[in-house]
Chains A and B, each alone.
Chain A
Amino acid sequence: GENVEQHPSTLSVQEGDSAVIKCTYSDSASNYFPWYKQELGKGPQLIIDIRSNVGEKKDQRIAVTLNKTAKHFSLHITETQPEDSAVYFCARGYNFNKFYFGSGTKLNVKP
């Protein structure tokens, strides 16, 4: 199907702790998996992405893992900071066309 299931819908962590958001999909043709961060009143901004020929990708405090066999992928944020507080969306696409998004995770990092 088209849907991307995203969990949890809300996540509250203490500053400095790690946060993990998970997404699952069913369309095995999907080969591109971006993650977006949306701050209040703004459009989503790409923070990291991964292609299906890679199992893990890291960019400073942010990492994404992909298990193509199980059709799930996850966002990991380490050493969280208050400015990480936002809504995070996962998405899937096929050859960069017609992206489908998860329902979002509201992350709250408590100082």
Chain B
Amino acid sequence: GAGVSQSPSNKVTEKGKDVELRCDPISGHTALYWYRQSLGQGLEFLIYFQGNSAPDKSGLPSDRFSAERTGGSVSTLTIQRTQQEDSAVYLCASSMGRGGSPLHFGNGTRLTVT
């Protein structure tokens, strides 16, 4: 596709429910990142996938957060038993990886936990 696509663009959920956020990276990009942006704040690194290597999960804030990337393309970020503090914009970015292009971001998913 032309750019990084994220869905849904907005998600409202009740506290305690599970949510799945989807990211379609730019075709051919081997690296994929998830960031979290709380209201008026910077970008908090969550997880990074590079090709077939084991993902770098060092930024995940708790074991309620997980992510997978199927077939080296689409990625899903799952948040289980959502809490109000999970409310934020979740941004996905992709790049060509080592020696390649910089990050290209999607427009994010705005998650609101009520």
Identify the interface centre among A34, A91, A96: most chain B CB within 10 Å of its CB: A96
Number of A-B contacts (CB under 8 A): 60
What residue of chain A has the Cβ atom nearest to residue B6's Cβ? A43
A97, B31: Cβ atoms closer than 8 Å: yes
Cross-chain contact B43 with A44 (CB below 8 angstroms): yes
B100 within 8 A of A: yes
Q: Per-position contact with B for A28-69: 1 when CB-CB < 8 Å, else 0?
A: 000010101000011111100100000000000000000000
Q: Chain B, 79-104, contact with A by CB distance < 8 Å: what is the 0/1 string? A: 00000000000010101111111111
Q: Does A73 contact B (CB under 8 A)?
A: no
Is B25 at the interface (CB under 8 A from chain A)?
Answer: no
Within 8 A of A (CB), among B19-64: 31, 33, 35, 41-43, 45, 48, 50, 56
Chain B interface size, under 10 / 10 to 19 / 20 to 34 / 35 or more: 20 to 34
**Closest A residue, CB atoms, query B44:** A101
**Total contacting residues, chain A, CB less than 8 A:** 24
Contact of A43 among B4, B100, B101 (CB under 8 A): B4
Residues of B within 8 A of A (CB): 4, 31, 33, 35, 41-43, 45, 48, 50, 56, 91, 93, 95-108
Give the residues in chain B near A95, CB-CB below 8 Å: 98-99
Dominant secondary structure of chain A at its interface with chain B: strand
How far, in angstroms, from A102 to B45 measured CA to CA in the complex? 11
